[in-house]
């Protein structure tokens, strides 16, 4: 081999070794000591074995101020590339905390944007793994401009390709807004943090001592703020969770989710034992889902936030569906501000990516009270209505027990565009519950009766017999069929099969103005 060839090969080998060393052995050890994988280890865990191909390995920051020349490393604190997930292509970016704390500068932003642009061109999912101290102060305005480019691409990709954000370390300041624009956010329990202003800033303003985890840890964002959708103990389980979610999603908005061999089962015969006929007694709606969904297929989204509404993905005969269900064991399944936001966002995601919707209804009302009214329940509840009315995917509903008032309308009623609505014999479809209705429409009769208590009971019996059943709704065409509980899976699966080729276009417009 010519000497020049050997010299150039040796030079490439040294560069590759430097790239593989990332921030150095000490920093890699520190990363492992914190219970975190390195950026490349995360890519290997995310993608199918041996399929990850790295891009732009040698890109380096051009900044030179504040001693940056001595801090420069190949890759500039992020690993980008592509590979296969369940045999299907996807692109990803994984921030490398061992290099300048994963801070984002101009070169890192350009690398991330190039990967996102490729994902958009190829119409395949994009996954962003966040582990960064935030904007690189040494690069000033260039780092802020880098975030702006990422946010714009997030927005352009929205509704076209699935975008997943994985928070495996700090994600602070402006960096939080890229995950917030994406479809789903995963966090780890011990290391993930998201906050706009850090603990030091909060302490200086309020005087209270607060930790980064208390301010923006996974438990906060999963249960209180609703920012996070999934939480896992560590990096590996979190990335496996991402892989599980990807199995339910199509590659883009022009495709449908893939069909997989489903472990079909039908335990609908158990439903009458799960759901009490007494509408005042609670039950766990997830047990209802488990009776008809393919075995172990239900994948709940945001399980700790707005627990009065359950949303998630499941399979019927191997086909993916999205489920929205009132949870009677929490706040009696009523709709309120957080549940409305949670439901509307999930409905719109499913509609973006051609995932049929199943709605399980057992709702007494929109939650009353001054706190809800002053917090904007009208505006937030309207999001649910807007989302269902706008969705053009197949929409099937099952009224299990209560379906009262405006909350009934908001839960995929025929008037808001449901294609097929079933009801069980115990369903109660009315403007409000019997006691409230009788107190209004029978007030004068009760007051004038010789025995007001007896008259009230008489009117309650009359109202219950006449209105608190599904038959008037069926007679008027608002319910397609009253079914027995044991017929649930058969009817639901049959409806989705019939609707599989549904096509419906919205009126031509730039976009609707959802009541944000």
Cα-trace Rg, the chain? 27
3-state DSSP assignment of residue 81: strand
Dump the DSSP string for 24-66: -HHHHHHHHHTT---HHHHHHHHSSTT--EEE-TT------GG
The C-alpha atoms of residue 218 and residue 229 are separated, in whole angstroms, by: 10
Backbone angles phi, psi at 304, to 5 degrees: -100, -5
174 in active site: yes
Please name which of 428, 427, 424 lies closest in space to residue 488, comparing C-alpha atoms: 424
3-state DSSP assignment of residue 428: strand
Residue 425 vs residues 469, 482, 496: alpha-carbon distances, Å = 7, 6, 22
The C-alpha atoms of residue 288 and residue 294 are separated, in whole angstroms, by: 12
Mark 386-398 as b/e (b = at least 16 C-beta within 10 Å): bbbebbebbbbbb
3-state DSSP assignment of residue 365: coil
Of the residues 134, 173, 343, 381, only one is catalytic, namely 173
The Cβ of residue 238 has, within 10 Å, a number of other Cβ atoms equal to 27
Of the residues 226, 247, 375, 406, only one is catalytic, namely 406
Residue 112 · residue 94 · CB < 8 Å: no
**60 burial via Cβ count (<10 Å: 0-12, 13-18, 19+):** exposed
173 in active site: yes
> Tokens for 435?
């006691």
Please name which of 248, 188, 182 lies closest in space to residue 45, comparing C-alpha atoms: 188
Of the residues 109, 344, 391, 407, only one is catalytic, namely 407
Q: Where are the alpha helices (DSSP H) in 72-140?
A: 106-122
495 in active site: no
Q: Where are the alpha helices (DSSP H) in 62-168?
A: 68-71, 106-122, 141-157
> Tokens for 54?
């790295």
Beta strands, E only, 117-248: 126-130, 163-167, 170-172, 184-188, 193-195, 230-232
Residue 393 · residue 355 · CB < 8 Å: yes
Of the residues 140, 159, 174, 375, only one is catalytic, namely 174
407 in active site: yes
The catalytic site residues sit at: 173-174, 406-407
């Amino acid at each position: 081999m010519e000497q020049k060839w050997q010299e150039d090969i040796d030079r490439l080998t040294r560069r590759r070794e430097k790239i593989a060393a990332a921030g150095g052995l000490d920093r890699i050890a520190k990363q492992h000591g914190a219970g975190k994988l390195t950026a490349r280890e995360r890519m290997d865990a995310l993608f199918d074995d041996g399929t990850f191909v790295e891009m732009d390995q040698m890109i380096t920051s051009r900044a030179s101020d504040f001693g940056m020349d001595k801090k420069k490393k190949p890759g500039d604190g992020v690993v980008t590339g592509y590979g296969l997930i369940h045999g299907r292509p996807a692109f990803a970016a994984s921030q490398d905390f061992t290099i300048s704390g994963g801070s984002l500068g101009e070169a890192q932003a350009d690398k991330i944007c190039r990967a996102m642009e490729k994902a958009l061109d190829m119409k395949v999912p994009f996954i962003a793994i966040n582990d960064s101290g935030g904007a690189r102060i040494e690069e000033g305005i260039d780092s802020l401009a880098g975030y702006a480019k990422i946010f714009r691409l997030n927005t352009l990709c929205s509704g076209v390709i699935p975008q997943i954000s994985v928070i495996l370390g700090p994600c602070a300041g402006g960096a939080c807004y890229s995950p917030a624009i994406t479809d789903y956010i995963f966090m780890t329990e011990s290391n993930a943090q998201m906050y706009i202003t850090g603990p030091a800033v909060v302490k200086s303003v309020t005087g209270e001592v607060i930790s980064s985890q208390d301010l923006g840890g996974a438990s906060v964002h999963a249960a209180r703020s609703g920012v996070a959708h999934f939480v896992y103990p560590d990096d590996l389980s979190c990335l496996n969770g991402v892989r599980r979610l990807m199995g339910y999603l199509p590659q883009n908005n022009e495709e449908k989710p893939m069909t997989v061999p489903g472990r079909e089962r039908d335990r609908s015969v158990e439903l009458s034992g799960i759901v009490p006929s007494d509408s005042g007694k609670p039950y766990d709606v997830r047990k209802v889902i488990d009776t008809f969904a393919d075995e172990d297929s239900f994948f709940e989204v945001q399980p700790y936030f707005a627990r009065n509404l359950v949303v998630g993905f499941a399979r019927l005969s191997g086909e993916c569906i999205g489920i929205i269900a009132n949870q009677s064991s929490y706040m009696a399944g009523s709709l309120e501000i957080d549940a409305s936001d949670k439901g509307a966002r999930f409905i719109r995601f499913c509609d973006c990516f051609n995932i049929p919707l199943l709605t399980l209804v057992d709702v007494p009302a929109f939650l009353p009270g001054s706190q809800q009214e002053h917090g904007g329940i009208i505006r937030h509840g309207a999001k649910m209505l807007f989302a269902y009315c706008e969705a053009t995917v197949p929409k099937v509903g099952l009224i299990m027990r209560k379906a009262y008032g405006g909350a009934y309308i908001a839960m995929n009623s025929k008037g808001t565009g449901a294609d097929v609505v079933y009801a069980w014999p115990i369903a109660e479809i009315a403007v409000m519950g019997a006691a409230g209705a009788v107190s209004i429409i029978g007030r004068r009769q009760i007051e004038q009766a010789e025995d007001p208590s007896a008259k009230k009971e008489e009117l309650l019996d009359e109202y219950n017999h006449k209105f608190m059943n599904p038959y008037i709704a069926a007679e008027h065409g608002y319910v397609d069929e009253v079914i027995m509980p044991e017929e649930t899976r058969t009817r639901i699966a049959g409806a989705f099969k019939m609707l599989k080729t549904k096509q419906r276009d919205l009126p031509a417009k730039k976009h609707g103005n959802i009541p944000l």
